[in-house]
Amino acid sequence: MADMNKWEYKVIALTVKRKFLSGQFDAQSVEDELNKFGQDGWELVRMEGVSTPHIAPPILTFKRAI
């Protein structure tokens, strides 16, 4: 029988320095935030709402093995 991976998930609203909501996208701030999650073992698997940040902040879904 093959080993089955088990995952835990984290879902966050990306409001890095509130720049999305003000319409000022700061790629470096986003990259820094993603790298923090990556260092903790989280892998970004989905990003929603990037095209409409003026309505609501983008939602990011991460997973990591447990």
- Tell me how far apart the alpha carbons of residues 4 and 1 are, in angstroms, rounded to a whole number: 9
Residue 56: inside a domain: yes
Residue 4: inside a domain: no
Contact predicate 60/6, CB 8 Å: no
Q: Would you give per-residue pLDDT tens digits along the chain (66 residues)?
A: 566 889 999 999 877 555 555 556 677 878 888 999 999 999 999 988 877 756 777 889 999 999
Residue 45: inside a domain: yes
Residue 2: inside a domain: no
3-state secondary structure of 52: coil
Q: How many domains is the chain built from?
A: 1
Contact predicate 34/43, CB 8 Å: no
Domain that holds residue 43: 15-65
- Tell me how far apart the alpha carbons of residues 59 and 1 are, in angstroms, rounded to a whole number: 36
